[in-house]
Structure 1
Amino acid sequence: MRCAISPCVLIGCLLAMICLPAAWLTGAEFDPDRFLKQYCAACHQGEKPQGHFSIAPLIGDREFTPNSTQWLDLLDQLGDRAMPPADTDKPRPSMEEYSQAVAWLKEQLAAASGSAGRMTRRLNRPQYNNTIRDLLHISHRPADSFPQDLGLEGFNNVVEVQTLSPFLLQKYLTAAEESLALAITTQPEPEQIDIRYYPLPPEVHSGAKPLKPSPIPLKDLLGKQWPAYVSRSIQLLGGNYPVNQAGMREGQGPHGYEMVISQDGKSGQRGQLMFNTPLIGGRYRLTVQAYATPRLEKDGRPIPPQGVSILGVSVNGEDVQRIAIPLADKPQPFVCEFTSDHSRTQVYLNGATEVNKLELKPVPNLVITEARLEGPLYDAWPPASHRAIFGAGGTDATPEILRRFASRAFRRPATDAEVAKYTALCEAEIRQGASPLEAIRVGLKAILVSPHFLFLIEPVDSSGRLSDYALASRLSYFLWSSMPDDELFQLAADDRLHLPAELEKQVARMLQDPKAEAFVNEFGGQWIGFHRLAEAAPDPDIFPTWDEDLRRAMLAESQQFFRHVMLENRRLTEFLLADYTFANERLARHYGIEGVQGGALQQVALPADSKRRGGLITQAGVLTVASQPTRSSPVFRGIFVLEKLFNRPPPNPPADVPALEEAAATGEAQTVREQLARHRADASCAACHNRIDPWGLPLEEFDGIGRWRKMTAEDLTASLQDGEQITGAHDLQDALLSQKDAFVAGLAEKMLLYALGRTLSWSDQQAEPEIVRQVAAADYRFQSLVQAIILSPPFQNR
């Protein structure tokens, strides 16, 4: 268990040790007790040791274990040469003495670390959903109803915190049944639905009586009584404007619909178009013909529009797409595909406007001239999901069906004993009166609840190296959060996947595959933390320009920035400083960047003469997450740099240290800078705040939602631990770039932990210098880091 205060308070003692002759710091001559008593006892013994830390438990301690967290934390401080501080009167070690002390600690920790042990992780929620998708060829997300995955060190796939409750076991059974019901079809080829919905002008249907819908083509209705329209009048969502807009339907298939397509032109008003249509399970395509037009003055002159019209598509209450509709003089097609798992599906089109709510200017009209619904879409019948299980044959060849399915589900060839066990289970069902198909369902379900499906079981050879099949799974769950594809399976079968040249080829291929979007969202999202934007709640009284459109734009910027660096194999240093970002009109306006129009995200060049923006640390989403609801937070922002960029997070503060707001309430300090200075004056806080504050204070030129603001140089100046003074984001970015190898090392540790799905042992961390060396030799390119991790001993071995 960690002590209540940071082990940092002991660093002064340990570094003081380094001032002794070098012989004291090598091999068996190193005597921890002597050093502790001679250099630490004066301050850290007795009833009231300084910093609430006593050396008494360490005297006589010779137990270096794989979980020697205090020693690991101390080694981090030694590696940073953080203690004693540059301004202390204590002697500081020479480089030779420092290196010898570090080498001794590394030797002890490496000897105690050994193997990480045989920890078997299970699929987390995203991995389960993606595996069901790729195994059964269905768009179904059963794991969304599973208990939330717990997180450790920032990631939710870490085995040390995974649990297996009775509730989750029941969910596995239900998920297997639901997934197989969607994948297997016993129905003949379904009738195709192809329905078009049109709005009708008010003068046509005003006062008319409702008639039953009819498939008569629109062109045949001219000059006749309209045969189809909606009888109900629906108000705009959030408004008080009655709309008598109706619509008609033509085409084939079942129907049921309500239609409202209108906007009153004021910010926040929405229109709605809803299809309430009986559909069979499958994939559907919705094509909307739409455009936006400026509103008109009373004399007919167009009013310059403010904001962007947004067409939102939701299916059964879940948002599936938001489409920016540009100004135009005629309709354009916009396509959205979705999957229906319900017998009766509700499809909504919502009209909204992306606009600053303080600028109550006229917004563009959203005009929808046609909505077309087609489906279910499939290349052949039976669909791919059915064929993935049964192949081209029927249900007669039970052993072959089960062997093929189990081999893909278990991600390695099923054994004869396994196939015999599942075949016997099916035969027992048939003896009890089940049909062949019903019996096979039972066998398939048993496979989907097997530990070999639910867990990532990794066979090794006598040397501890992963088998090629286990390597294929480790690789695919690292980059895709899903099972291997046919190419990886074939390479594993040929015993070629472990070859370095083949692995490098596969990394390049897999990162370009659409399934690598999981790496953007799962690794990128948890590393950068942009998923936390959903929880951000800036005070609307203090930040009145904050709204959902800005939140979405911030999220999209961080996602696209990571995606771009990955797909284009850019330099990792662009995470620290880049001369571009991604923004739409709303976010560009927030940044004060001119010339960006529309709701679509686009790459934006940042001014060459300014480094106020560029890289992760100046993105509005990162700055917003690293803020309090009412103000910016140099502490949160400093912690972001230490934790996310260098993987050197500070420990939690002592329980008896008040938050900055509490200190301010007592009148003890007036400004955040003054409060932080008071924290640093306290010995209990100084060790950590001397590390945190210098990275956060220069970012005070950005407010609580990431807007730039003018501040004095004094407010933005801080001294790094090596004594270098930096002022503002410009200097901070230069300081980060000067430590790019430390950044790559921290990122490598984060990525390796995510790839292995477990915390790193000390022996794992010994691979870090070689990874950094390979990345530096490859010009710090993104793919070089992924390749170096995959070729490293921790990734290749159990």
Structure 2
Amino acid sequence: MKFRLLNFESRFCHPATWPIAWLATWLLAGPFGGVLQSTTLAADQPESIADFLSLNCIGCHDSGTSEGDLDLESLELQLEDPDNFHLWERVFDRVGQGEMPPDDTLDKEESLSFLSSVHGILKTADTARIRSAGRVPARRLTRTQYERNVQQLLATNIPLSEYLPEETLTNGFDTVSKSQQISNHSMAAYLQSADAALDASFNQLLADAPPPTVRFDWKQLRRDEKKTGRMAEGRPRHKDIVAWSTRQNFYGKLPATTVPNAARYRIRLSVQAVHPPSDGRVWCSVQSGFINAKASTMYWVGSFEATKEPKEYEFEAWIRDDHMLRVHPNDRGLRQVPVPLIGRKAGTLEPMGFPGVAIKWIEMEQIVADRAETRRALIGDLPLRKITTPVTTTQNQTKTNESSDRQFEIVSENPEQDLQELIHSFAQRAFRRSVTPDELKPYLNFARQRFAVDGSMREALRSAYRTILCSPRFLYFEESARASDDLALDDYALANRLSHFLWGVSPDAKLTQLAAAGRLSKPNILRKQTDRLLDDVRSTAFVKEFSDQWLMLYEINSTTPDGDLYPEYDDVLHHTLVDETHAFVEELVNHDMPAVNIVDSDFTFLNSRLARHYDIAWPGGTGLQRVKLDPKSRRGGVITHASVLKVTANGTTTSPITRGVWMLERIMGQHIPPPPANVPAVEPDIRGAKSIRDELEKHKSLESCAACHVKMDPPGFALENYDVIGGWRENYRAVSDGQKKSKWVDGLPVDASHQFVSGESFADIDGMKEILCKHPERIARSLAMHLVTYSTGAAPTFADRETLDAIVAATKSTNYGVRSLLHGVVQSPFFQQK
């Protein structure tokens, strides 16, 4: 028997945190009580396990041979060690799946006896661990959940996640508790974030009326024709400005739109295509930034398609201090104006027929929080008083100064009572449950001490709110159990899980009322509330964040496609890729569509730019649309979305290994351990002299590699007809030798054929889809597993397998509908227990 059991991921919290009692309990009282008197398998083991290992395994995996770095002769049964437990779990799975021993002489009854023995031991141990410590250790808000919660508490729209460190992912998700440590550095970041949010909120409370909407006409937006620069030129006859299609750096900047202060802005513009190509549209981008060579960082605002008819578009974006807008055609498929021509006199380029976008006007409106809402969040119904400060003029006359927000104070006739009521209300909203007087006392005392300094209600409240926003009771989920069951979550904890799962923010008033009444945990009410949250627009947070982590779309910006090999890739296409996947997943959830659509579907969501990339006929119209796919389109299912195909490539080449591992772990629900440290990576030949298949054949000749490659290579090769940006190819692209005008040439032909371990073979992507779709329950099980991990903060373990299977089995009547699977997760012990 050859096992690949290296560098296994730890499944549980550190053993030092485990109670000792449960281990002794299952050893003495479990199904093997009286047999397992020692934790060392080699010294004293159940007869069925000892006989099986001796007859079938020890020959290759004894202390002297240790093939695959596995020594079964001295393997210990120390299941309190997560790595040891995981190793035994892998042994169980390999034998159970018929992968080991490698010959066909294994007696079936003997194998079943071994599996039954090991299963009983592992399940008993894992169940005892869960009963003792719970499935999910302490879990905190992710930085996006933190941002939304603070914004909701303080009625502000300031972005906060940028203040906090990047999250560490476990099992692909940032919600998993065991990787959510808080250090001194991150605590300082939380303080900084809280200060920024409180300053913004209190300033809004005391601010003047919001600034008026500013409208820039074509004269204000046009360039100075004496200096030209990188600004769009004016067309007096049409009363507009035109930005032409060009690759000139920073071209299309609009200095007139420079914002006076960082804020969220609503941007409207009226545009029209100039000399559009045959499809009648010019794709353009809107960005913000300083837009010069010394500060070239650009921030994406959005894209639009200018057509022959004038159209108005609207965007919302956070724009930083002194940043301006940039609007220009951003489609690599358009005819480009040579850079030397850009500075020519206005009117020179238009007769040449280059495509461009005409802009009639731009409006910018600063979006501010509703002051009444901010007031309720911070000070309730307490009045504000304007304080006037005497100022002496040059003529020794006295006048009052009312210009500073420091000239206002919160008026309270009973500061002690008002502080207590306001801080109590804020704490209950922040902690997402009822708060006892003892729990409130430290924050109230802190506010009293600050009030004693100068009698300022504003500073007293701010100090208490700041402390609450950095409290473990706010940063962490306080998942208390019901009095009747030490594992079942109480209704407040259940409301928190549900709301953060589907909205990424604290429970609303309806969920809180049901939790307070103890009714949310009733199955029919919980189901109705799950549907209510899913039907609300706020559930887009779940669709986006779950999809981004489940499918690894968070890697979309990690690589930039090689400009020589993939000159057609542009920013508009780049930002469209994830839109397709988000809209597709949302459709699966909203209409309870079968999970098999993840692998193959007869529809997707496209705009005209993405349709052109896929070589799919565009049905007409603008924006993202649901498009029915021709069976011959070689599209359908998440696995052929360009977003997925890009994040599983490196920008220059594709690798069946990378895509194969992604398929196994994200879609097929199988974990692949990392390769041994001493195995070199496969380096594809970008000159096209050798195929990736040839390179992998040599790689797989290494004994330590073959066991995993037999699983991951088949689905990886099935995706080889898709290049690094998700385009279809019959041949690989290779770097040109410089003798041709193009910087790339067709290389070797693509061979996407392969064979699964089961013996089922396929010739291309369609063949692989057909094989996978024969077992929709496997696709559904994988999705359910990822939903459990994301929603609860812990991946299913060995003892959870039957529960996971039951969730999947219950959705068979809906063809394993995605919404049905989601309901199954929420109604399960996974979601409703600690």
TM-score, normalised relative to structure 1: 0.82
Q: Which residue of 456, 460, 467 corresponds with 1:439?
A: 460
SS of the residue 2:206 aligns to: coil
- Partners of 2:690 and 2:306 in 1: how far apart? 49
**What's 1:516 paired with?**
539
Counterpart CA distance in 1 for 2:209 and 2:107 is: 79
1:676 and 1:728 map into 2 onto residues whose CA distance is 18
**2:397 aligned partner:** none
Contact 2:776 2:816 in 1 (8 A): no
The question of 1:700 aligning with 2:679 is answered no
Q: Hey, what does 2:123 align to over in structure 1?
A: 110
Q: Which residue of 2 aligns with 1:290?
A: 271
Superposed displacement of residue 643, structure 1: 0.7
Distance 2:656 2:107 in 1: 31
Measured after TM superposition, the shift of residue 266 of structure 1 is 3.9
Q: Which residues in structure 2 correspond to 1:378-457 (within 5 Å)?
A: 382-394=371-383, 395=410, 396=412, 397-457=418-478
User: Residue 755 of structure 2 corresponds to which residue in structure 1?
Assistant: 719
Give the letter for the 1:334 counterpart. Answer: Y
Aligned equivalent of 1:614, options 621, 627, 636 = 636
How many Å separate the matches in 1 of 2:233 and 2:574?
A: 30
Q: Give, in angstroms, the shift of residue 538 of structure 1.
A: 3.2
Whether 1:152 aligns to 2:152 is no
* Distance of aligned partners of 1:796 and 1:434 in 2 relative to their CA distance in 1, 3 Å threshold: same
Gaps of 5+ in 2: 9-30, 36-45, 291-296, 338-351, 384-409, 413-417, 732-747
Which 10-residue stretch deviates more, 134-143 or 756-765?
756-765
1:325 lines up with 2:305 in the alignment: yes
Distance 1:98 1:358, change over 3 A: farther
Contact 2:244–2:328 under 8 Å retained in 1: no
Root-mean-square deviation over aligned CA pairs: 3.5
Deviation at 1:508, TM superposition (A): 1.2
Which deviates more, 491-500 or 517-526? Answer: 517-526
CA contact (8 A) 1:713 1:727 kept: no
- Work out the CA distance in 2 between the residues paired with 1:78 and 1:371: 67
Partners of 1:338 and 1:695 in 2: CA distance: 40
1:173 and 1:646, CA in 2 relative to 1: closer, same or farther beyond 3 A?
same
In the TM superposition, 1:640-789 aligns within 5 A as: 640-661=662-683, 670-710=690-730, 715-789=751-825
Aligned to 1:312: 286
Instruction: Give the drift of 1:5.
Output: 4.8
Matched, 1:371 2:391: no
- Cα 1:646/1:26, change in 2 over 3 Å: farther
Q: Distance in 1 between matches of 2:77 and 2:440?
A: 54
In 1, the alpha carbon distance for the partners of 2:207 and 2:706 equals 73
557-566 vs 699-708, which moves further: 699-708
Give the equivalent residue in structure 1 for 2:188: 170
Separation (CA, whole Å) in 1 of partners of 2:115 and 2:315 = 58
Q: Which residue identity is paired with 2:819?
A: Q
Tell me the CA shift for residue 100 of structure 1.
4.7
* Structure 2 residue 571 is the aligned partner of structure 1 residue 544: no
What is the aligned partner in structure 1 of residue 618 from structure 2? 595
Picking from 77, 88, 96, the partner of 1:61 is 77
Q: Distance in 2 between matches of 1:120 and 1:678?
A: 46
Distance 1:628 1:714, change over 3 A: closer
- Number of corresponding residues: 719
1:37 aligned residue (54, 66, 70)? 54
AA in 2 matched with 1:200: K
The Cα shift of 1:356 comes to 2.1
Q: Which shifted more, 433-442 or 277-286?
A: 277-286
Deviations 1:405-451 (A, max 9, x none): 11000000111223343333222222221412221111111211111
Rounded to whole Å, the distance in 1 between the matches of 2:531 and 2:74 is 51
Distance 1:324 1:268 in 2: 20
Deviation of 1:243 (Å): 4.7
Do the aligned partners of residues 278 and 740 (structure 1) sit closer, same or farther apart at CA in structure 2, a change above 3 Å counting? Answer: closer
Deviation digits for residues 128-175 of structure 1, max 9, x if unmatched?
111112222211222312111111111112221222111211122222
Question: How far apart are residue 649 of structure 1 and its match?
Answer: 2.1
The 3 A distance-change label for structure 1 pair 681 and 279 is closer
Q: Which amino acid aligns with 1:70?
A: L
Alpha-carbon distance, 1:465 to partner: 1.2
Specify whether residues 736 and 190 from structure 1 end up closer, same or farther in structure 2 by C-alpha distance, changes over 3 A only.
same
Contact 2:611 / 2:617 at 8 angstroms: preserved in 1?
yes
| Cα pair distance change 1:93/1:326, threshold 3 Å | farther
| Structure 2 counterpart of 1:81 | 98
Which of 514, 518, 524 is residue 491 of structure 1 equivalent to? Answer: 514
Q: What displacement does 1:577 show? A: 0.7
Work out whether 1:121 is the aligned partner of 2:115: no
CA distance in 1, matches of 2:679, 2:763: 28
- After superposition, the C-alpha distances for 1:702-730 in whole angstroms (9 at most, x for unaligned) are 23333223379993332211112222111
CA contact (8 A) 1:132 1:179 kept: yes
1:560 to 577, 583, 605: 583
Structure 1 residue 681 displacement after superposition:
4.2
Aligned letter for 2:145? Answer: Q
Residue 340 of structure 2 corresponds to none
Letter matched to residue 793 of structure 1 = P
For the residue of structure 1 that corresponds to 2:158, the secondary structure is: coil
Structure 1 residue identity aligned to 2:269: V
* 1:508–1:783 contact (8 Å) kept in structure 2: no
Asked if 2 retains the 8 angstrom alpha-carbon contact of 1:159 and 1:757, the reply is yes
> Sequence identity, in percent?
28
> 2: CA distance between counterparts of 1:584 and 1:558?
12
Q: Could you tell me how far apart the structure 2 residues matched to 1:457 and 1:724 are? A: 49
Cα pair 1:286 1:372 within 8 Å, conserved:
yes
Residue identity matched to 1:602:
Q
- 1:17-58 deviations in Å (ceiling 9; x for gaps): xxxxxxxx9996643333223322222235454334332431
Structure 1 stretch displaced more, 313-322 or 331-340? 313-322
| Structure 2: distance between partners of 1:521 and 1:262 | 35
1:556-607 deviations in whole A, cap 9, x for unaligned?
Answer: 2222222222233322111111011122223222222123567733222211
Residue 245 of structure 1: how far off its partner (Å): 8.2
1:503/1:542 CA distance change after superposition, 3 Å: same
Compute the displacement of 1:333 (Å).
2.6
**Residues 512-556 of structure 1: CA distance to partner in whole angstroms, max 9, x if unpaired?**
222222212221111111221211333333333333333223222
- Give the Cα–Cα distance (whole angstroms) in 2 for the partners of residues 159 and 141 of structure 1: 24
- Secondary structure, counterpart of 2:786 in structure 1: helix
Q: Which runs of 5+ in 1 are unaligned?
A: 9-24, 206-228, 247-258, 296-302
- For residue 750 of structure 1, report the CA deviation from its aligned partner: 1.4
From the superposition, tell whether residues 539 and 348 of structure 1 become closer, same or farther in structure 2 (CA, over 3 Å).
closer
Which piece of structure 1 moves more, 576-585 or 759-768?
759-768
Amino acid of the structure 2 residue aligned with 1:743:
I
Relative to structure 1, the CA distance from residue 187 to residue 533 in structure 2 (aligned partners, 3 Å threshold; closer, same or farther) is: closer
Quick one: which amino acid aligns to residue 708 of structure 2? C
Aligned to 1:300: none
How far the C-alpha of 1:384 sits from its partner, in A, is: 1.5
TM-score (norm 2): 0.79
Aligned residue type for 1:754 = Y
1:330-385 Cα distance to aligned partner (Å, 9 max, x none): x4332233457x7x554414223323268889554212212223355565xx3412
- Aligned mates of 2:669, 2:156 — CA distance in 1: 38
Q: Secondary structure at the match of 1:263?
A: strand
Show the counterpart of 2:645. 623
Aligned to 2:159: 141
Secondary structure of 1:291's partner?
Answer: strand
